Structure 1
Amino acid sequence: MHLTAQVRYDADVRRVGALLADEAFVQAKVRATGALSHQVDVVGRPEEAFTVTTRRQMPTDAVPAQFRALLGGGLEVRQVEAWEAPEPDGRHGTVVVEITGVPVRLSGTTRLLANEDGSTTQLYDGELRATIPLFGGAVEDATAGAIRSAIDAEERTAATWLAEQQG
């Protein structure tokens, strides 16, 4: 399943890059997704290439009942965003999301693009695959919904974070 999404930030690309590499912000956005517990690792600096890895334990109540048996006692989500060094036209990276113990994986790209009004748009473009016989499509649909919810939570968290930094 092809998955696209976008996030708008009221800040320039440089500031958004610094935000995405800020461990405190990353922890806040992970908490905003409803994670029961989490771990965040940021390697590198925002003015260079950097990688953000998150692991979060998520509740299974949002998962359709027929798929909860596949998950056992919990849902552990691992996400890695690897950002290249800034370029004149923005910033490029790759993103991978995996659910531990379940054959579900999102692989794709992410970009930061400068808008004329000084804001930044982050674009996600990837392929979501669930290699589960008979139920793969339904699991992909459920996972896509969860990923979109996480992206929405990130956008809300970033808007609050950026507004607090300006004020």
Structure 2
Amino acid sequence: MAKSIHETLIYPDTNVETVAALAADPAFRSAVAAYQHALRSDLTVAPTADGRKIRFEYAHGTERVPSFAKKLAGDEIPIIQEETWHGDKADVLITIPGKPGDMRGTITLEQRGADVAQVVDLTVKVGIPLVGGKIEDLIAGLLTKAARAENKVGLKWLAGEWQA
């Protein structure tokens, strides 16, 4: 089984280059992690021949995770999000070290008039018999909330209104 995520987030009155720069900004990614109550976070950015590779590592506590998933996760959930950007599109791989499954897909930035649409398309796969579907649903919900949280912080960040 697999669960698909399709989310379109809007950044009004800006351009693709400005929104793309957020992904590689350590201060912005740190603010997003803090907004989501991450226990810790780290961002590395490396240039590639035709873009850049971003590795965003963060960890969440499990206090708000259902008990069936908490048994599998332990005390915290470390997450590694790798984005390989080529212009206005990124290939995305999200993994939880030591756990079966992954989240793969793309992030695309599109100029739509004066606004930028960030289109997130991911597929969640968890290879655990019996409970894999439940965990896929849980992870899909968490990733959707995370994308919306990043957008919320991004809107305030671009407007110069973000306060840590």
Alpha-carbon shift at residue 73 of structure 1 (Å): 2.4
Q: 2:71 aligns with which of 49, 69, 72?
A: 69
- Percent identity, aligned pairs only? 29
- Give 1:97-136 correspondences, 5 Å limit: 97-116=94-113, 118-136=114-132
Work out the CA distance in 2 between the residues paired with 1:54 and 1:125: 18
- State whether residues 33 and 149 of structure 1, in contact with CA within 8 Å, keep that contact through their aligned partners in structure 2: no
Work out the CA distance in 1 between the residues paired with 2:61 and 2:34: 12
Alpha-carbon shift at residue 75 of structure 1 (Å): 0.8
Q: State whether structure 2 residue 142 is matched by structure 1 residue 146.
A: yes
TM-score w.r.t. length of structure 1: 0.88
Aligned length: 157
Partner of 1:39: 42
TM-score w.r.t. length of structure 2: 0.89
The more displaced of 67-76 and 132-141 is 67-76
5+ residue gaps, structure 2, are: none
The more displaced of 8-17 and 134-143 is 8-17
Work out the CA distance in 2 between the residues paired with 1:63 and 1:147: 13
Q: Over the residues paired in the alignment, what is the CA RMSD in angstroms?
A: 1.6
Moved over 6 A (4+): none
- State whether residues 79 and 95 of structure 1, in contact with CA within 8 Å, keep that contact through their aligned partners in structure 2: yes
- State whether residues 61 and 75 of structure 2, in contact with CA within 8 Å, keep that contact through their aligned partners in structure 1: no
5+ residue gaps, structure 1, are: 86-90
Alpha-carbon shift at residue 102 of structure 1 (Å): 1.6
Q: State whether structure 2 residue 10 is matched by structure 1 residue 13.
A: no
- State whether residues 7 and 121 of structure 1, in contact with CA within 8 Å, keep that contact through their aligned partners in structure 2: yes
Alpha-carbon shift at residue 103 of structure 1 (Å): 1.1
Work out the CA distance in 2 between the residues paired with 1:44 and 1:27: 20
- State whether residues 9 and 119 of structure 2, in contact with CA within 8 Å, keep that contact through their aligned partners in structure 1: yes
- State whether residues 93 and 103 of structure 2, in contact with CA within 8 Å, keep that contact through their aligned partners in structure 1: yes
Work out the CA distance in 1 between the residues paired with 2:9 and 2:91: 16
- State whether residues 50 and 83 of structure 1, in contact with CA within 8 Å, keep that contact through their aligned partners in structure 2: yes
One-letter code aligned to 2:53: T
